Structure 1
């Protein structure tokens, strides 16, 4: 009978087991000879079956990213930018506030949507304060104001933290409590009222009615081509109905609005010139950020060693730039990109690739934060843990040396919570359990990773302390928006690849509702969560907290923007690719 010799240095063979033929045991040391039947049993053992989401490879190579160049860097462009900014400052004049408040508000709105308002914070705050005092604070003559002035003022002032009561719109209703038909006659006013209605907080039914009414009327007029001849107004209405301004990531709104503003009959060439130049200069900073990140990602080698997972560095950077695009926020932007890139791969391990036993071990190793414990893990998890562990420790080391803050204990806790939440979802999937919607949302608002990203970004970027209660509420609302928007766009694709039921399926299972009804319910949850978020955002006054709160909100916005129709992050299509190109690669001209 043929046999094979296997070296097993860690076992004691003083008592040979049945079925093992021993020969010259002393001579061979701890070696055993297995009979052919036992060999056959070993070699025919069923291999581990792993699922796959079949993600396509990255669209962008390392060499291409490293070759990026920008022609808008240098002192010459900085000088031109400075001259243009000084000219714009003369436009934001307090002298025009009393005589023409609508013109001032429209200018502020244009500056925001063109992405250049961050250069004029003091001037904008000054004119908005005057408009508030002269026209909104006294609340005596508001009924005499035109709808456009009231609606635009309401939106901008609420965005900047002013308390403006929703009752200022009571005059749009008749004696019977219905919205007056005359509101339809003012397209611009109706569009501004529609956008303003999304600044609602809870229990502002008048704004709910205004949103439903204006949405219906604007859709009808768009379908019947009754909006007017000006192309820019048609574009604005169509754009708003697709996704309201409040729900859009500001950086991507800039890309769209520059083109829309170019076609406007009352366009100011000065603003357009500054907006294009500023976009191109900031894009140059973004390109340098991305080149640095591509070197980090190439060095990590996850794109080659863990090829079952999403290789989405540029897409991750898109999200980080959407969250914090300003030039001064490069550290925050690169840290968020790293975090999202790590999370993408770890998420794919939990959702698709890892076995239940492996996931339990990986979660335990993360919670222990012990490099020696990786011997318990399979090779691919060793690579994952070491890369993730070294990256996080390096970021924590930079925080310790630059800010003298030992953040590792807090960072470990955030990653442990995230992995625990992912493990729960893996357990649900493997047991075939469908959670209630409440169970699902409680856990998935952690597994969606926004609390992890914001807490880590805070520890690695800022030395200021966020007010815990406020930031917790903002993060919870943003996480829920992100989670629900993700489910609307990705749930079917993820179920096909093998994943836990999402909010839509949980609601259907719990209530017996159809998929259409479940989707409508999830959309209503998003709307109600935005109302809570609007309230919470206005409770924070600390500038450093505002940066991270805006970052959290923008990540929620980015999810709504990205997953309007399907999962274009996992499988980028031409629409998504065009936005990547516009954001990072192609300058405005």
Structure 2
């Protein structure tokens, strides 16, 4: 069947519906030969798929030496990690683990890292004091790594948060590493960690005050952290930046492990964009989001499913927000709620096509889950609650209207709400999560990916500039950690 991206000039009238939504509207059934449809004026897909696939087949992305060589590299890095764990230099151990996490290779050595951190947790905390020359950077790093790895720790037992009047002493010492480390650690706060809120505020003020006097390399690091702390960044994007910024400080073995991780090939399926000319055709951006949520190479099947789900969600969003008429959407929503193979509603062609893709994709995913894990997820799809959709003003605009505040005041209120939400995420993921570590981190990464995609604009609706640069850096440009 040849697909036409525009709706036919004549179509069948809808049958009356007995649903509560339709009854509430109390509108007669409309027949229209040419329904008025809005356009979001989304820019077209800017990727050349032929050139893209050709570049991904370039031998430069192949791992030289094969799996055996990589296993040898991992063994060398593991030996270094174990040796550090046997030593007495706690700050050095912490820095090595932090480097491996930020490079994106820590998952290869998870058991060793957890063992070392558990041992560190059982020892006396490294002293943290702003009145003397205590190692504030190491103490804050210790707290952050323990909390990131779900080892129970409180700021009270691990950090002696200084009073605000001690900030002058820290500024006089130009303790940039201490300020930066404590600032990063403060973003791992739980709901009752008010002292970390105070620490975050005066560390940010101190770093901004010292910024003009820093050398370019350190200044770049401070600006990067103040923009978005590492805890809120997509892990793969943060790893890419960290590698380039600290390449000279990274061991040879770690660099070669990094090269392998970033040269793994990837693929994406396309097709919906050819059928729905009115919607956003963003398959690569969908994969980029999925990779931000689940980036572990061992979870490729999950990443593939997420890419499809995000792609379908984008097309659904455009149908509800932009293209579909009210009558069409009522019937379409009812059909989705019943989840039948052939919907009883009379739907226009473009809706029937998307419904078919949704139905077949969900069945395919459910079948794979049943085969691999013996768990039937179809019941969850049938019981899913309906979501209200439509054009809505931004949260900032709503706050300005309801609270009669300025845009700046409303933005500050949204930032406070975001901070509260992140505290809840931290507590649920790192303190009392009842699910697997992989699922917990996928939930955290979902929030991180939102920062990544929408920082500075709509990176999904108009994926130019920053988002396009991210995709090129992660998947397309040649990568070599040995180069500065």
Q: Which runs of 5+ in 1 are unaligned?
A: 1-9, 11-42, 427-498
Superposed, which structure 2 residues align to 1:48-127 within 5 Å?
Answer: 48-67=35-54, 68-69=56-57, 71=59, 72-73=61-62, 76-93=65-82, 99-127=88-116
8 Å contact from structure 1 (residues 84, 270) kept in 2: yes
**Deviation by residue 1:1-30 (Cα, 9 ceiling, x = unmatched):** xxxxxxxxx9xxxxxxxxxxxxxxxxxxxx
For the pair 1:503 / 2:381, whether they are aligned, the reply is no
For the pair 1:275 / 2:275, whether they are aligned, the reply is no
Superposed, which structure 2 residues align to 1:135-150 within 5 Å?
Answer: 135-136=124-125, 143=129, 145-150=134-139
Distance 2:228 2:124 in 1: 29
Distance 1:93 1:401 in 2: 38
Quick one: structure 1 residues 574 and 147, their matched pair in 2 at CA, closer, same or farther if it must change by over 3 Å? Answer: same
Give the superposition deviation at 1:95. Answer: 5.3
- Pick one of 416, 423, 428 that aligns with 1:531: 423
Alignment root-mean-square deviation, CA:
2.5
8 Å contact from structure 1 (residues 172, 180) kept in 2: no
Distance 2:332 2:151 in 1: 48
Distance 1:128 1:400 in 2: 37
8 Å contact from structure 2 (residues 189, 196) kept in 1: yes
**Deviation by residue 1:185-234 (Cα, 9 ceiling, x = unmatched):** 21111100000011111132211111001111112222x2x12x3x4422
Partner of 1:338: 308
Distance 2:373 2:75 in 1: 35
For the pair 1:413 / 2:402, whether they are aligned, the reply is no
For the pair 1:351 / 2:334, whether they are aligned, the reply is no
8 Å contact from structure 2 (residues 105, 258) kept in 1: yes
For the pair 1:248 / 2:233, whether they are aligned, the reply is yes
Partner of 1:321: 291
- Pick one of 391, 402, 406 that aligns with 1:514: 406
Give the superposition deviation at 1:170. Answer: 6.4
TM-score w.r.t. the length of structure 1 is 0.71
Distance 1:169 1:409 in 2: 45
Quick one: structure 1 residues 69 and 374, their matched pair in 2 at CA, closer, same or farther if it must change by over 3 Å? Answer: farther
Quick one: structure 1 residues 131 and 403, their matched pair in 2 at CA, closer, same or farther if it must change by over 3 Å? Answer: closer
Partner of 2:343: 373
8 Å contact from structure 2 (residues 128, 160) kept in 1: no
Q: Between Structure 1 and Structure 2, how many residues are aligned?
A: 445
Distance 2:356 2:294 in 1: 28
Give the superposition deviation at 1:80. Answer: 2.5
Partner of 2:145: 156
Distance 1:278 1:170 in 2: 35
Which structure carries more helix by proportion? 1
Instruction: Describe the SS at the equivalent of 1:178.
Output: helix
Q: Which runs of 5+ in 2 are unaligned?
A: 1-12, 14-30
Partner of 1:20: none
Distance 2:90 2:186 in 1: 21
8 Å contact from structure 2 (residues 332, 345) kept in 1: no
Partner of 2:389: 425
8 Å contact from structure 1 (residues 114, 254) kept in 2: yes
For the pair 1:188 / 2:182, whether they are aligned, the reply is no
Give the superposition deviation at 1:60. Answer: 2.5
Superposed, which structure 2 residues align to 1:145-294 within 5 Å?
Answer: 145-168=134-157, 171-174=160-163, 178-184=165-171, 185-222=174-211, 224=212, 226-227=213-214, 229=215, 231-262=216-247, 264=248, 266-280=249-263, 283-284=264-265, 287=266, 290=267, 293-294=268-269
Instruction: Describe the SS at the equivalent of 1:336.
Output: helix
Instruction: Describe the SS at the equivalent of 1:500.
Output: coil
8 Å contact from structure 1 (residues 96, 104) kept in 2: yes
8 Å contact from structure 1 (residues 58, 311) kept in 2: yes
8 Å contact from structure 1 (residues 98, 134) kept in 2: no
Q: Could you say which structure has the larger radius of gyration?
A: 1
Give the superposition deviation at 1:565. Answer: 1.1
Distance 1:157 1:170 in 2: 12
**Deviation by residue 1:473-521 (Cα, 9 ceiling, x = unmatched):** xxxxxxxxxxxxxxxxxxxxxxxxxx21221122122111122211111
Distance 1:250 1:199 in 2: 15
Distance 1:377 1:369 in 2: 14
Give the superposition deviation at 1:361. Answer: 0.6
Distance 1:130 1:406 in 2: 40
